[in-house]
Structure 1
């Protein structure tokens, strides 16, 4: 406990002072002390000491006793504790988002100078310019929460920000699911089979008839396909590492590890592709027979979105097809499963959805489409 001492000032008058231990600075790890002097009476000194002790107890070190960091300095410390909690691909994605959308606007600011009004301005900007805006909002909030835990700020200015919601003209929140109908899928695959590379036809056939993610498909090896029992084991994915390069890692979630059945036609298409690949590799003096070889290959050994996305975009433009993204074939598979009578649980297990809400979003869309056709079905049945 701090002691109050009497001392003599330069003019010969008496005054009181104290030296108080404030604790360890969470940023520097150094012990902090403060000296206050110039009190005319011991009562004044006791009052000031009590107030300072209470402030330190409630709010941590006084501002004057610690270095207030910039947002970027807090981010760098936060990043070190965040790294071990996520996969390398997630780390790469999130740090890219922070460097692009957050640091240019927050990085140089002292965290105690960032207020709700400034955060609201940036939230509005991000909402109007960024597709995955909720993720950006969440990252800003998490970093400022970390600043709060370090006693750099007392409150998180993001707590009082109003988060916008994108709406349609009728006022409902916009939720877009990109997928093909059965007829659109048939047309798409027919065009690929008759006019494009056989490998790309097989890739999109497997995507549409298994519902797997493009990263999961890219990591498939021949040992994952059980031709005898008609199943595919999905237990890995291709992702972008922290160095920006592709690598194979464990799947997105534990639910993503699954073994699914495949129809006979798709199985035979895979057999045909294996024979085609065997001929091609034989010309190059390589052997396909060991199960460790990837099913879909490119010059860089890993066949992934860097090849699939541009190809799909080119095909859509070339044949004037309805717009769809590679992930849309996963939604297509789910949608057609529901239309064929599969249960919500069956679709969740087949697609490896960790959260049933994701499955329900697709189910809701499909059932809405079915409801819209109810009147038409009735009229066709009545016939007058």
Structure 2
């Protein structure tokens, strides 16, 4: 610190510090009435506080993990859908078993994150996918800390999850159960159509199978999104913690989800019939009206749709677990069997990540190759 006497008789105290971004030396100052020992001590404290204020956004490695989570979670909720951020608190319970809230974030390393993986999956009972999602959530949080200059690197990026030996066979079996073949779809639809009270459920199941839409995208379809030949998928329905009558159409899952889906003749028949049924029950349909609605005039909830599928599963003693999403995977499987290029399938179903599409695509291709060999052997 140094001091300079001013023309007005006062004294200006200066101190230097290095600004982290540019690494340039800068200075702060304060003007006091005298250069006495007491004034100098006061200047030292004031200048130190001012430097700390300048640097507080650069040096936060002493931040606690619970403080980081609180700050990050507010930011995260502003950038993702409710269905995404509502899962985080439950994941944090698993993370906090290994990384307590009072842990300094500078001390979080690969070993701690690896321990989370081991407790959840390697030596635990939780699934590989859920463990991956939890690790990814932690990685997103630490990436935020790195961007804010709170830490210098993200240790989660270096942690890999090694699948168990039994995982490959389990995943192969799960992949078989992820989608339905054409015969299975026909059996299910024929059974659902046996009851008039399930007619809407049958239309929805078949439409999902023919288009590959996510259920939320189907719920959000409005009259104005259908031009007679194709549908514009431009949103999803968000009704977390809300009643269906209070549901809100929000932006789609990602930018790739915003798309136009060309319709087959049967898919167009379904839409035209459902719209006609709605007109008969509710009167003339406005452009903003949702298409797949229940007798109450609101979109059919996912819970109601899946509840019927679960009953059908029991009634048919079906081996595969039925849900809305199985029809989306079945659509990918159907297009794979028809030799539609992978990129075209991804664009149609709105996949941003090729892994999901590719896993089904490759699985169907392998099965097709095996069938070829079986047919050749039978000659």
Could you state the TM-score of these two structures normalised by the residue count of structure 1?
Answer: 0.71
Q: Is residue 2:82 matched to residue 1:89?
A: yes
1:75 counterpart residue number: 69
Alignment of 1:171-250 (within 5 A): 176-177=174-175, 178-195=178-195, 197-227=198-228, 230-240=229-239, 246-250=247-251
Could you tell me whether the CA contact under 8 Å between 2:215 and 2:325 is conserved in 1? yes
Corresponding residue SS for 2:260: strand
Could you state the TM-score of these two structures normalised by the residue count of structure 2?
Answer: 0.72
The separation in 2 between residues aligned to 1:336 and 1:368, in whole angstroms, is 14
Shift in Å, 1:232: 1.9
Structure 1 residues 290 and 122 mapped into 2: Cα distance closer, same or farther (>3 Å)? same
Corresponding residue SS for 2:291: coil
Structure 1 residues 279 and 348 mapped into 2: Cα distance closer, same or farther (>3 Å)? same
Residue-pair matches, total: 324
Structure 1 residues 377 and 237 mapped into 2: Cα distance closer, same or farther (>3 Å)? same
RMSD between aligned alpha carbons? 3.7
Q: Is residue 2:313 matched to residue 1:316?
A: yes
* Greater shift in the superposed pair: 350-359 or 365-374: 350-359
Q: Match for 1:121 among 97, 115, 119?
A: 115
Structure 1 residues 145 and 249 mapped into 2: Cα distance closer, same or farther (>3 Å)? closer
Could you tell me whether the CA contact under 8 Å between 2:232 and 2:261 is conserved in 1? yes
The separation in 2 between residues aligned to 1:169 and 1:87, in whole angstroms, is 31
Alignment of 1:24-43 (within 5 A): none
Alignment of 1:335-354 (within 5 A): 335-354=333-352
Could you tell me whether the CA contact under 8 Å between 1:214 and 1:327 is conserved in 2? yes
Corresponding residue SS for 1:197: helix
Q: Is residue 2:300 matched to residue 1:303?
A: yes
Structure 1 residues 160 and 275 mapped into 2: Cα distance closer, same or farther (>3 Å)? closer
The separation in 2 between residues aligned to 1:292 and 1:134, in whole angstroms, is 39
1:252 counterpart residue number: 253
Could you tell me whether the CA contact under 8 Å between 2:77 and 2:85 is conserved in 1? no
Could you tell me whether the CA contact under 8 Å between 1:72 and 1:106 is conserved in 2? no
The separation in 1 between residues aligned to 2:284 and 2:165, in whole angstroms, is 52
2:287 counterpart residue number: 291
1:15 counterpart residue number: none
Q: Residue deviations 1:286-318, cap 9 Å, x none?
A: x24212111122458233423223332232123
The separation in 2 between residues aligned to 1:220 and 1:267, in whole angstroms, is 13
Q: Residue deviations 1:131-184, cap 9 Å, x none?
A: 422121122233344445666666655466453324436689768430001100
The separation in 2 between residues aligned to 1:239 and 1:119, in whole angstroms, is 33
Structure 1 residues 319 and 98 mapped into 2: Cα distance closer, same or farther (>3 Å)? same
Structure 1 residues 80 and 348 mapped into 2: Cα distance closer, same or farther (>3 Å)? same
Could you tell me whether the CA contact under 8 Å between 2:233 and 2:259 is conserved in 1? yes
The separation in 1 between residues aligned to 2:358 and 2:82, in whole angstroms, is 27
Structure 1 residues 359 and 156 mapped into 2: Cα distance closer, same or farther (>3 Å)? closer
The separation in 2 between residues aligned to 1:87 and 1:142, in whole angstroms, is 12
Q: Match for 2:138 among 137, 140, 148?
A: 140
Q: Residue deviations 1:18-59, cap 9 Å, x none?
A: x9877799xxxxxxx9xxxxxxxxxxxxxxxxxxxxxx9xxx
The separation in 1 between residues aligned to 2:256 and 2:230, in whole angstroms, is 17
Structure 1 residues 226 and 66 mapped into 2: Cα distance closer, same or farther (>3 Å)? closer
The separation in 1 between residues aligned to 2:299 and 2:261, in whole angstroms, is 23
Shift in Å, 1:193: 1.0
Q: Which runs of 5 or more structure 1 residues have no equivalent in the other structure?
A: 4-18, 26-32, 34-55, 282-286
The separation in 1 between residues aligned to 2:75 and 2:187, in whole angstroms, is 49
Q: Which runs of 5 or more structure 2 residues have no equivalent in the other structure?
A: 3-13, 21-27, 29-50
1:334 counterpart residue number: 332
Shift in Å, 1:209: 0.7
